[in-house]
């Protein structure tokens, strides 16, 4: 068929990435999440190449405005995406109702939705995953006061083999201070997933432009995803603002650190600070023991070899 153009290859790389997660995507999403193109293509160019490229038409199926890798079940994936979108919309409404509580803590400077919720791709069993930015010197007390009400009311994820009894549990698994917003040092080699993670965060609130600083300190992700801009807070997700309560004092921070470090599950204590999966410091708390970034990279690169 001759040599494929960079635009054809870039479109295919993007569709292959989403095929790993069995996700049907639109033309706009193909353009927005285009992976490592040689230049920034216009949306109209993506529309055109999908219509005209016989090579892409052999590789990709389209239906009702969605595109999937050929061989995948288009109707089922489209229906699955619609159902996940509705579930995520319900979760966002729930999150907005409780997010006003976050304003009560002066150390909490910004909060964003991440992972499947950020992609509007949740199921009823999915957690509400949050990324929390705190003022320096308040990370332990911020996590303590944020988690405590959800723990006492049974709205935290269950661990172990027993299924969770809580619907839409709140997962506070990633905290960072305003001085540790750069995430490139956490990346594994060719970390496609972290680039998508950075670009997909949905801000709920931002007291002092922490997410603007986050975007500046994570410009490395733009090299991989040049069309994907970090999202700004949407009025539909903004919680009601409440006055902060004077319940965080730096003098008590060592106590909150001690309480939480001693309560960490054994598996987290064993993995802490060995690599970027679990980070436990006074500047960052990251509890991702089931970190699959390397697995996603290997699967994705196998797909690239097979299809390109």
Q: Structural domains in the chain? A: 6-72 (1.10.10), 90-292 (no CATH)
Q: How confident is the model at residue 156 (pLDDT cuts 50, 70, 90)?
A: confident
* Contact in structure between 15 and 60 (CB atoms under 8 Å): yes
Q: What are the Cα distances from residue 167, in Å, to 203, 210, 246? A: 22, 30, 31
Q: For the residues 218-224, what does the mean pLDDT come to?
A: 96
Q: What are the Cα distances from residue 143, in Å, to 132, 158, 213, 252? A: 9, 18, 21, 13
**CA-to-CA distance for 70 and 78, rounded, in angstroms?**
14
Strands (E), 66-208: 66-69, 108-113, 128-134, 170-177, 202-206
Q: For the residues 260-268, what does the mean pLDDT come to?
A: 92
Q: How confident is the model at residue 162 (pLDDT cuts 50, 70, 90)?
A: very low
pLDDT given for residue 240 in this prediction? 72
Mean pLDDT score across all residues of the chain: 92
The residue ranking higher by pLDDT, 191 or 160, is 191
How long a stretch of residues is the chain?
Answer: 308
* Contact in structure between 29 and 120 (CB atoms under 8 Å): no
What does the pLDDT look like over 109-123, one tens digit per residue?
999 999 999 999 999
Q: Is the pTM of this model over 0.95?
A: no
Q: For the residues 215-226, what does the mean pLDDT come to?
A: 96
**CA-to-CA distance for 253 and 134, rounded, in angstroms?**
13
pLDDT given for residue 165 in this prediction? 54
Q: Which residue in 37, 26, 30 sits closest to 4, CA to CA?
A: 37
What does the pLDDT look like over 164-187, one tens digit per residue?
556 889 999 899 999 999 999 999
**CA-to-CA distance for 267 and 57, rounded, in angstroms?**
47
């Amino acid at each position: 068929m001759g040599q494929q153009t960079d635009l054809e290859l870039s479109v295919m790389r993007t569709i292959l990435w989403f095929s790993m997660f069995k996700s049907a995507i639109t033309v706009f999403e193909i353009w927005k999440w285009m992976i490592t193109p040689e230049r920034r293509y216009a949306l109209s160019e993506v529309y055109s190449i999908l219509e005209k490229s016989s090579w892409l038409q052999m590789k990709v199926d389209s239906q009702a405005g969605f595109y999937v890798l050929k061989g995948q079940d288009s109707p089922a994936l489209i229906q699955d995406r619609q159902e996940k979108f509705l579930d995520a919309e319900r979760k966002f409404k729930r999150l907005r109702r409780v997010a006003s509580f976050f304003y009560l803590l002066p150390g909490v400077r910004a909060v964003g939705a991440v992972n499947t919720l950020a992609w509007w791709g949740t199921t009823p069993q999915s957690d509400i995953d949050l990324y929390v930015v705190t003022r320096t010197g308040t990370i332990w007390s911020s996590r303590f006061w944020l988690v405590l009400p959800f723990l006492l009311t049974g709205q935290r994820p269950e661990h172990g083999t027993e299924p969770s009894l809580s619907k839409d549990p709140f997962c506070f698994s990633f905290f960072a201070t305003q001085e540790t917003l750069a995430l490139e040092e956490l990346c594994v080699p060719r970390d496609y997933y972290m680039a998508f993670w950075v670009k997909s965060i949905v801000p709920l609130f931002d007291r002092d432009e922490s997410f603007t600083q986050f975007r500046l300190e994570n410009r490395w992700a733009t090299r991989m995803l040049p069309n994907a801009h970090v999202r700004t807070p949407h009025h539909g997700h903004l919680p009601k603002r409440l006055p902060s309560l004077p319940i965080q004092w730096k003098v008590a921070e060592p106590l909150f650190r001690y309480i939480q470090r001693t309560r960490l599950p054994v598996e987290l204590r064993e993995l802490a600070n060995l690599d970027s999966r679990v980070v436990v410091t006074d500047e960052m708390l990251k509890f991702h023991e089931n970190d699959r970034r390397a697995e996603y990279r290997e699967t994705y690169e196998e797909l690239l070899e097979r299809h390109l």
